[in-house]
Every structure is written in structure tokens, then in C-alpha cells.
């Protein structure tokens, strides 16, 4: 079974899918392997692993081709379609907007090379109610399921492909065909929606309602940022987000109820008392029902499969080893979702279960309290490397908190919530009061336990090799003490605790032109300093910095910005400031915009000012004495120079200012030029490009943006001058290394290229 997992993993890492002729060859090899094994030419272990590897590769490749055939081509601009189909899942309600999933029955016009099945749609200022199971006829504007690509940030493009979302878009018009259908899946989805609506009508606080929806329906959209912060600081996210813990609790409750039935059956029918189905069937039924009520999401499916693999063999009296069951669950999860490898929850859930199994099988403990402590210690060690790798942080007090929190959740919180919900059916006010009181105490307890100002938190983002060493150390620490490997394991674990060495040498710099859609943000790092030029945009109260720049900075262990430069006041350059200032310490703030300086504690970027950090020179080179009413021409223009390399970032200046800079800095040459105003036709004049002669011109613009950036005439101009260029909408973030040896340019999308990626 490990061979199957390795085969699926191999395909998930490929930059392009295996060709059909190669696939045919692999299928032939699989049949040959099975034939040879039947004739005894291969030992059973070798035979199983080779056959499993080939099967995994063939299966995952077929899954990939099927899903690619249903997806809107990634280079296609947005188009209008008429689509009919069914609403699925719980709608996400946001201010003046509803987002929901939609299964397509028919669409027009037809789309060559694609067969759309599943859409993610948004309805702005909705004029009707979106209910799961409804059938609608929509006129929509669809675009490919692309995502922004930046170091350290979540891969939204991979998530959409894993969830089999074939296109995204928004409604232009809508007509309801009929209400929720009669199929089982539609009725379950409609039931979840009605429960959510009923909860919203009770006298619950926002915090209580969000918690109940998360625990009961698997709906996390109501949880606020401060609640997530408390959960992360205490290492208790798994208490509120439906996971293996909740499915295990459902199994346990079902098992207890089954044991009661078994005891009663033993009193009435003594010969029937030993039938295992009395205990196992209620456990499986309750866990499956809970999973369906929670929307049968991918994490819920994963947890249910784990439970089934552990309980079903016992039901049919099959004596499978515990690790065989573990591998069986792993393989089933991967066959159902071959891209699970890219989901942190996959690694965290299997690591937690693996640590529990390893602890209980190698170090059995007879005392209950000692067993609880040992179990939490084992789980913490197992998750420690993965939490740092995926999330960049670990709550060091999590084992102590979970020793208390898990029993509270199991024996008090969940039974109390169930009792409160049932009581609401009889007396809404009394039930709501019980739920509010119980959940307020729950959150108060977590807030008291949460460390203030990041205390008792470890922040680090290790590379893959330290994570592997940390994982090996966690395994060694769970081995019996008599083997004497504890000291060496702790030594290996230290590679995760101490942050990695600074990736930038003295005198060098690294600049990252972030992929923030239609906007600009450039991070410049020296050996000890970090400068951010612009912050990207904010739309409908949500900045792109929150899911692009902040994760990128955290992944590089940056806790403060030594200088933040907001070139001018336009939203696509200044929109992310509030989120960045809330997350990081900003030691100095500069801006070319008087409006920004009136609103924020910013200093002007004075023409001619320069400073040097770690052997790298930073200079403002915009013209002095400009009397500009045009906000774009107020932009700060930053020149960064090391001994061998240089980058120029001109904000949104137009060609008239470009010419003035050329006049005041004759002979200026740069290795990289960030194109002014995202490639607008009013900037990047021929004289400017010919004078600077950059090795690379870098555009920061959104895919299929409404402004047509970069303009066709600018691209033609670059081609005429034979200049290299990259656009973040195609390349993802552009990472440049300015060192004494070379001036290196890399596309992050190329670094992370997978067979489903755009570009």
C-alpha cells in the first residue's frame, strides 16, 4: 500500500502529466508485473510494492487528465455564459455578496477543450435567496480558476483544482427554476442550510453562533480573526474545526450507546451479548451522520475514512494489524483526493494518529493520568515539525492546554451544546441562555490560557530538510527508553527551534516583486533589514496583503519592517497598509503623497535622500520641486544598488517624470526595472527604456485586468529593444538575487510548477 501512496505523490509533484504513450507503457508493465508474480518470479513484498507504485501513478494520472478536461483553459480571458444547474453546499454570506458552489447541468456557448461541471460563483447585491438544492438559470461572467502565487502564502490555485472547481465568476442575472430537489444529497444540504438559518434566529451572541455552526455544521465562516488568534496561540484550532477528534468523539458516543444496547440485549437474550455489531454499528452510524451534517468536507471525509478503517475490520472479524489499517486509510484518502499531499490537514491528521499509535504500541502506560500526559506529549512531538513547516508557528503550551481542553470538549462542551440546541426546540430563550453561558466560559478559558504578545509561541519557517530531521526525532522520542536514542533525538529537534541563517549575505540584496494582482508590492531584503515598497490593494474591506504579503514576510521570519514606502495614495499601492501595520512593527514610513502623510505618521520621500544598510544603497531619485496635481507623478522612485546589481522601482510615474529622471541621472543603468504604472501606455517611454537598458522589465498586474496592463504597445516596444520581461500575472512573484557573483531572476510559478498550474 505504501507503493500506491508513493505513486500518487510522484504524479502530484510532476510539472506536467505523463503522456498517453508512457501511460500505456506503465499499464503494460503493471500487467507484466502481475503476470510474473503469478508465476512466482517476484517475492510477494516486491510484487506488491511495484504493482502498487505503478497503479498509483496510473490512477493519479487518469484523475489529473479527467479534471483538466473539465477546467476552463487557464489562459482564457473572462467570458459570459448562460448556465443552469444546482446550488451545493452552504452559501457564504459576506457584506453585499453571497458566494456559493454550483453544479452545472448545461451551459452555453460551448467551451472547446473543457466540460464545465463545478463552479464557484459570487452574487453581488443579491436580489434573491440562495438555498442549497435550488435549481437556477444564471447569466454569469466566468474566468479561469487561477490564484496568486507567492512564497509562503497558501496555494489557492491548487486548492481550487483539488476541490474540482472548474471556473470562478459572478452573476449578471438570475432566474430561479425550482426549489430544493428530492435527492438525498440535496435534502441533506437543505437541512444544513435550514439549521444554519434557525441558529441565526436564536438569541445567540455572534461568538456563540459561530462556534455552534463550526462544531455542528463544519461552517467556519463566522469565526472572527480574534477567535482564530486565540485558537492558534493555545494550539486548540482542532477543538473548533471539525477534525478527527470530533469524529472520534461521535464514534465513542455511538460505541457507548451500543454497549448499553449490548448490555440490555444480554439481559434479554444472553446468547446475543457478544455480538460486536452492537458496539461498532452505532459508532459508525453516528460518525457517518455527523460527517454528513458537517457537509462531508475533505477534512471530514479524511477523519471518517480513518474511523472506518479502524472499526470495519473488527465488525467483519478481520484481524488486520493496527499499522495495516493506518496504511489502508492513507491509501483510500489519496485515491479519493490525490492532491491531499498539498493540504496541511492531511499531514497533521495522519501525523497525529501515527504519533498516537506509535506511543500506545511502543510505550504502554498503565496509569491513566500518566497515559493522558504521554499521549499529548506524543501528539505534540509528531505535529511539531509539521506545524512549523505549514503554519510557521507552534504554541508551546498546547500539550498542557489540551490535557484539560480535550476532556472538557468531550464531556462538557459537546454534550452541553447538544443539550442547549435540543432545549432551544422547546424554549428558545432558555436554550440560548445556556448556550451563551457555556460558550462564553469556553472562550474565556481559552483567552486566559492564551499567551500575551506571542509569549510561549515559537515562530519559525524551517526548510524541508530540518522538517524531515524533526519528524525523525519525533519518531525516535516515541521509541522505548531502553533504546537510548532520546538525547540524539532532542539534538535533532533543535534544528527546528533555532531559526535558519540569514539567506542574504552582507553586501547583497534580495527583492521580491509580489504577485498581488492588479497592484504593486516589492519586498527588498538585506542581510539584516527589510524594506517594503507599496502594499497592494484592498477590495471590499479585505486587503491582498492579508493572504500574500503577510504570509510571505512570516515565512521569511521577518517580524518588523525597517522601512515601509507607500509611493502614493492609490488603493492598489496603499490598500494593504492597515493589515501590515497591525501585524508587523513599522520602524519608518515614507510616502510621496500629501494625503497619505496627513492621514498616517509618514515622512516625505525626499528627492536625493539616500541611506546604506548592510552594504546596499537605497536612494530616492524622483525629481525635486515637482508641482504635480497628478497623484501618479507624486510617486516615490526608489533605486536599490549593491556593488554588482541594481533595481529601480518608479511607482506610477508617467513618461514626463521619466524624462526628468533621465535628465538628472544621465548614464543610469539598472539590472531590473519595475515597469511604471503596471505597464500603462503613458509610461515606459522608448527613451526611458533605451536609456536605462535594463536586463529585465518586471510588470506587476492582474490577469485579464480591465485596464489592459501591460499595454500592447509597451510589449511591442520591449520586443523591438530586445529586452526581457516578466509579468506577475503569468510568472507569479518574481524573486531577484543581487549578489557579488550574479544578478539572478526567478519566477516563483516556475519554481512551483505542477501539471495543473497556469502558465
Q: What pLDDT digit, counting tens, does each position of 232-269 carry?
A: 888 888 888 887 888 988 998 998 988 888 888 777 76
* Window from 37-51, 655-669, 702-716 with minimum mean pLDDT: 37-51
Instruction: Answer yes or no: is pLDDT of 501 > 60.
Output: no
Report the pLDDT averaged over residues 127-152: 95
Q: What is the mean pLDDT of residues 537-546?
A: 90
Angle at 371 between CA 365 and CA 376, to 5 degrees: 135
With a cut of 90, say whether residue 546 has pLDDT above it: yes
Cβ(342)–Cβ(334) under 8 Å?
A: no
pLDDT digits (tens, 9 = 90+) for 636-678: 999 999 999 999 999 999 999 999 999 999 999 999 999 999 9
- Cα separation values, 489 from 393, 518, 682, Å: 21, 47, 61
Rounded Cα gap, residues 362 and 480, in angstroms: 6
- pLDDT of 458 > 70? The answer is no
Q: Is the pLDDT of residue 180 over 80?
A: yes
Q: Point out which residues pair with 726 in neighbouring strands.
A: 698
Amino acid 374: pLDDT: 73
pLDDT of amino acid 486: 61
Q: Which of 271-275, 430-434, 457-461 has the highest mean pLDDT?
A: 430-434
The Cα–Cα gap between 450 and 300 comes to 27
Q: What is the mean pLDDT of residues 273-292?
A: 84
> What is the pLDDT, as a whole number, of residue 394?
83
Range with lowest mean pLDDT among 407-416, 444-453, 482-491, 746-755: 482-491
Q: 390 falls in which pLDDT band (50, 70, 90)?
A: confident
Q: Residue 380 — very low, low, confident or very high, per pLDDT cuts 50/70/90?
A: confident
pLDDT of 15 strictly over 70: yes
Name the residue among 279, 336, 331 with its Cα closest to residue 309.
331
Across 485-504, average pLDDT:
64
What pLDDT is recorded for position 468? 75
Most distant CA atoms of the chain, gap in Å: 101
Lowest mean pLDDT among 67-71, 119-123, 477-481, 580-584: 477-481
Give whole-number Cα distances, 302 to 110, 142, 209, 327, in Å: 36, 31, 26, 13
- Burial class for 543, CB neighbours closer than 10 Å (0-12, 13-18, 19+): buried
Confidence of residue 192 (pLDDT cuts 50, 70, 90): very high
Per-residue pLDDT band at 277 (split at 50, 70, 90): confident
pLDDT at residue 704 greater than cutoff 90 = yes
- Mean pLDDT to the nearest integer, 183-199: 88
Task: State yes or no: pLDDT of 332 exceeds 70.
Answer: yes
**Spatial CB neighbours of 138, under 8 Å, sequence gap ≥ 6:** 82, 83, 84, 102, 121, 171, 172, 173, 174, 175
- pLDDT above 70: residue 735: yes
Q: Chain-wide mean pLDDT for the chain?
A: 89
User: Which of 97-101, 236-240, 459-463, 615-619 is the least confident region?
Assistant: 459-463
What would the mean pLDDT of 31-48 be, rounded to a whole number? 71
Report how far residue 283's alpha carbon sits from residue 253's, in angstroms, rounded to the nearest whole number.
Answer: 7
Enter the DSSP assignment of 534: -
Please provide the size of the chain in residues.
759
Give me the pLDDT at residue 482, please. 46
Q: How large a percentage of the chain has pLDDT more than 90?
A: 61
Between the CA of residue 557 and those of 58, 218, 387, 460, what are the distances in Å? 40, 32, 15, 6
Task: Please tell me the predicted confidence (pLDDT) of residue 364.
Answer: 59
- The three-state secondary structure class of 276 is coil
**Confidence (pLDDT) at 491:** 66
Is the pLDDT at 470 greater than 90, yes or no? no
pLDDT attached to residue 317: 72
Work out the number of other CB atoms within 10 angstroms of the CB of residue 190: 18
Strand partners, 98: 93, 123
Q: Which residue would you say has higher pLDDT here, 125 or 477?
A: 125
Nearest to 222 by CA among 233, 198, 237, 206: 206
Strands 457-459 and 522-525: unpaired
The confidence score (pLDDT) of residue 647 equals 98
For residues 552 and 150, is the Cβ–Cβ distance under 8 A?
Answer: yes
Question: Contact, 654 vs 629, CB < 8 A?
Answer: no
- State the average pLDDT over residues 316-338: 88
Q: Is the pLDDT score of 174 beyond 60?
A: yes
Strand partners, 510: 525, 737
* pTM (whole model) above 0.85: yes
How many angstroms separate the CA atoms of 210 and 240, rounded? 10
Place 494 in a pLDDT band, splitting at 50, 70 and 90: low
Residues 6+ apart with CB under 8 A from 131: 87, 91, 179, 180, 190, 193
Q: Give CA angle at 49 (48, 54), nearest 5°.
A: 100
pLDDT band of 472, cuts 50, 70, 90: confident
Q: How far apart are CA 489 and CA 467, in angstroms?
A: 13
Query: Which pLDDT belongs to residue 436?
Result: 96
Res 107: pLDDT: 96
Amino acid at each position: 500500500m505504501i507503493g500506491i501512496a508513493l505513486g500518487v505523490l510522484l504524479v502530484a509533484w510532476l510539472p506536467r502529466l505523463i503522456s498517453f504513450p508512457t501511460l500505456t507503457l506503465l499499464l503494460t508493465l503493471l500487467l507484466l508485473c502481475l503476470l510474473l508474480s503469478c508465476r512466482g518470479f517476484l517475492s510477494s513484498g516486491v510484487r506488491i510494492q511495484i504493482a502498487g507504485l505503478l497503479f498509483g501513478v496510473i490512477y493519479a494520472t487518469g484523475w489529473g487528465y479527467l479534471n483538466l478536461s473539465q477546467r476552463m483553459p487557464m489562459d482564457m480571458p473572462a467570458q459570459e455564459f448562460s448556465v443552469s444547474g444546482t446550488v451545493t453546499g452552504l452559501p457564504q454570506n459576506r457584506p453585499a455578496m453571497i458566494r456559493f458552489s454550483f453544479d452545472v447541468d448545461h451551459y452555453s456557448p460551448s467551451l472547446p477543450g473543457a466540460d464545465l461541471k463545478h463552479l464557484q460563483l459570487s452574487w453581488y447585491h443579491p436580489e434573491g435567496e440562495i438555498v442549497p438544492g435550488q435549481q437556477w438559470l444564471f447569466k454569469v461572467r466566468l474566468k479561469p480558476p487561477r490564484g496568486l502565487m507567492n512564497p509562503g502564502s497558501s496555494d489557492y490555485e491548487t486548492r481550487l483544482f483539488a476541490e474540482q472547481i472548474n471556473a470562478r465568476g459572478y452573476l449578471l442575472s438570475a432566474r430561479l427554476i425550482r426549489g430544493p430537489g428530492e435527492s438525498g444529497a440535496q435534502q441533506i444540504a437543505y437541512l444544513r442550510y435550514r439549521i444554519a438559518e434557525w441558529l441565526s434566529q436564536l438569541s445567540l451572541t455572534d461568538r456563540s453562533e459561530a462556534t455552534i455552526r463550526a462544531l455542528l455544521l463544519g461552517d467556519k465562516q463566522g469565526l472572527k480573526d480574534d477567535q482564530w488568534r486565540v485558537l492558534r496561540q493555545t494550539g486548540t484550532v482542532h477543538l473548533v474545526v471539525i477534525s478527527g477528534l470530533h469524529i472520534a468523539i461521535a464514534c465513542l458516543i455511538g460505541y457507548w450507546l451500543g454497549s448499553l444496547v449490548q448490555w440490555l440485549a444480554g439481559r434479554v437474550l444472553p446468547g446475543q451479548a457478544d455480538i460486536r455489531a452492537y458496539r461498532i454499528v452505532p459508532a459508525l452510524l453516528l460518525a457517518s451522520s455527523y460527517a454528513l451534517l458537517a457537509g462531508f468536507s475533505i477534512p471530514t471525509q479524511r477523519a471518517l475514512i480513518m474511523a472506518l478503517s479502524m472499526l470495519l475490520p473488527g465488525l467483519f472479524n478481520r484481524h488486520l494489524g493496527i499499522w495495516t489499517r493506518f496504511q489502508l486509510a492513507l491509501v483510500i484518502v489519496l485515491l479519493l483526493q490525490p492532491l491531499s499531499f498539498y493540504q496541511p490537514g492531511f499531514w497533521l491528521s495522519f501525523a497525529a494518529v501515527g504519533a498516537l499509535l506509535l506511543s500506545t504500541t511502543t510505550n504502554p502506560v498503565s496509569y491513566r493520568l500518566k497515559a493522558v500526559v504521554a499521549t499529548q506529549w506524543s501528539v505534540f512531538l509528531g505535529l511539531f515539525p509539521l506545524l512549523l513547516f505549514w503554519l510557521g508557528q507552534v504554541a508551546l503550551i498546547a500539550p498542557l492546554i489540551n490535557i484539560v481542553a480535550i476532556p472538557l470538549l468531550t464531556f462538557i462542551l459537546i454534550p452541553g451544546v447538544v443539550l442547549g440546541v435540543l432545549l432551544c426546540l422547546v424554549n428558545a430563550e432558555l436554550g440560548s441562555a445556556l448556550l451563551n453561558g457555556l460558550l462564553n466560559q469556553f472562550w474565556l478559558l481559552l483567552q486566559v490560557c492564551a499567551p500575551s504578545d506571542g509569549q510561549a509561541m515559537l515562530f519559525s519557517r524551517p526548510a524541508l530538510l530540518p522538517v524531515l530531521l524533526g519528524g525523525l526525532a519525533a519518531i525516535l522520542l516515541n521509541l522505548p527508553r531502553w533504546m537510548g536514542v532520546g538525547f540524539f533525538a532532542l539534538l535533532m529537534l533543535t534544528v527546528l527551534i533555532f531559526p535558519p541563517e540569514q539567506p542574504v549575505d552582507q553586501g547583497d540584496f534580495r527583492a521580491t516583486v509580489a504577485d498581488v494582482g492588479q497592484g504593486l508590492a516589492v519586498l527588498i531584503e538585506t542581510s539584516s533589514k527589510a524594506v517594503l515598497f507599496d502594499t497592494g490593494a484592498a477590495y471590499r474591506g479585505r486587503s491582498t496583503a492579508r493572504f500574500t504579503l503577510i504570509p510571505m514576510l512570516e515565512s521569511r521570519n521577518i517580524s518588523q519592517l525597517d522601512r515601509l514606502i507607500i509611493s502614493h495614495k492609490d488603493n492598489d499601492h496603499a490598500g494593504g497598509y492597515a493589515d501590515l501595520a497591525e501585524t508587523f512593527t513599522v520602524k519608518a514610513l515614507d510616502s510621496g503623497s500629501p494625503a497619505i502623510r496627513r492621514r498616517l505618521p509618514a515622512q516625505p520621500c525626499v528627492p536625493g535622500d539616500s541611506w546604506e544598510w548592510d552594504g546596499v544603497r537605497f536612494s530616492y531619485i524622483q525629481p525635486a520641486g515637482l508641482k504635480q496635481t497628478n497623484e501618479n507623478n507624486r510617486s516615490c522612485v526608489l533605486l536599490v544598488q549593491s556593488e554588482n546589481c541594481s533595481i529601480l522601482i518608479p511607482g506610477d510615474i508617467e513618461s514626463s517624470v521619466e524624462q526628468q529622471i533621465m535628465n538628472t541621472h544621465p548614464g543610469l543603468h539598472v539590472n531590473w526595472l519595475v515597469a511604471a504604472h503596471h505597464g500603462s501606455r503613458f509610461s515606459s517611454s522608448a527613451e526611458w527604456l533605451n536609456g536605462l537598458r535594463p536586463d529585465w522589465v518586471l510588470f506587476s498586474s492582474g490577469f485579464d485586468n480591465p485596464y489592459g496592463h501591460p499595454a500592447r504597445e509597451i510589449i511591442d516596444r520591449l520586443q523591438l529593444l530586445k529586452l526581457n520581461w516578466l509579468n506577475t500575472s503569468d510568472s507569479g512573484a518574481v524573486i531577484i538575487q543581487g549578489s557579488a557573483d550574479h544578478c539572478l531572476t526567478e519566477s516563483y510559478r516556475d519554481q512551483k510548477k505542477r501539471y495543473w498550474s497556469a502558465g
